Structure 1
């Protein structure tokens, strides 16, 4: 047996024994940057300012085998063309060897997503991304903020203008979309290349694909009032 190194991952949850949660695991398969891979979870070439985007880092060891635990130090940043930091990123450890990188671009520009492990770029990094301004009349709405509305001259949208529910919600299985598409694995919302997906960005409240068009959801017989 060949071990490159042993590491104690104190924050990793190791399950339960006789009803007691065990914290921490000893890992003998650290992630190797040259074999780990960056995979965008949405169309990063056509992002809009203020929209939430995400990518997935899949860790593999020095032999190219999947790493099945979390706890790796993943560094993520968005850099502008001149090398300055455009915005920060949040990294969510899925504790299965994969890490979700979430960011919200603040400016319309060309940029790159940099992902490193132990200071070394993973496969697919740097990843080129394109950011455009929000169309006129559309207010920026990010995932999980369904109360913000875009005033478009007609009926107002109550959802988000997104590429898919998986990306806009950060992987929330309970998030839904009016387009009606679903994904396997218990996800209630839409995802890229899955049955029913419109194939382009759309409003989650009505599936309208025109970012500046009015909401097309059917009128409701119920009204909400605040007392």
Structure 2
């Protein structure tokens, strides 16, 4: 049987001869137990490391896939942005061309007026000089009133029509926001005289819903007073089904806004286009639905349920407003109150409008309660 000391060989040979020797088998058993214990502790660490390594591989793959998707997104975004910038560039160049054309037209008209005035002055002055130098006394006596009157009229006309030459400079503002182009925010505007169609807007129910035979109205807001007939808005109203055009009424409010009205002659869909300076404003053409009749309001047009019901706590309103103190309806300045007179049935603030029906927040006995 092979024996081994429980201490090191060097120790046994040099200093500690006579120590007890143990069989190798017994020592090996103890060492195996220690090694197994160490492996038991190591195995979970190995498993964790393998999981971590697998997660690293998976993260690398996810990173590559995410990067590929982002590259595609960047390509789509930049291509769209480039198209938007190219379109915006064309708009800017078109704005410059239109402004040059507008200024040229104004200058041509002004030049024609000045030339005509100059010619009239030359003619009148030549006649007067000829009368003074060559005319007989009798002709001078007879033509004096005519010559003076003509010169006076020309002078008055000159002063009344005297105007400064319009500045010919055109300014480009690269930092100014130019709105949206194909869904992208773009910058850079050409400072132009007159109105900019891109900044015009419309307000009013007449561009959403109409009733057969009833006047539809909306307001065009240009923010700048239009100058000259070439800048006046052009509105076309067309029945889509029949192709029949309507003649709208355009009233200039002389403050940069226009009141536009038309009367549908057929039920169905209308196309309403609004153009300023030959260009559609934002949102044009507009789609308008024309019905045979508008659904009437079964409620009352009031300021609030507190007033119209005599302060009843259980009176509710289509606006959904409530008041403190147990009141179920709306009152001035309280939560839910629209801030305007409105219909008790649906809460609409437009007196002449179609009823959208009693809201879920209002019980069916709303109208009877509020009418009290």
* TM-score normalised per structure 2: 0.30
Say which structure, 1 or 2, has more relative contact order (CA 8 Å, 6+ apart): 1
Higher helix share: 2
* TM-score normalised per structure 1: 0.47
Higher strand share: 1
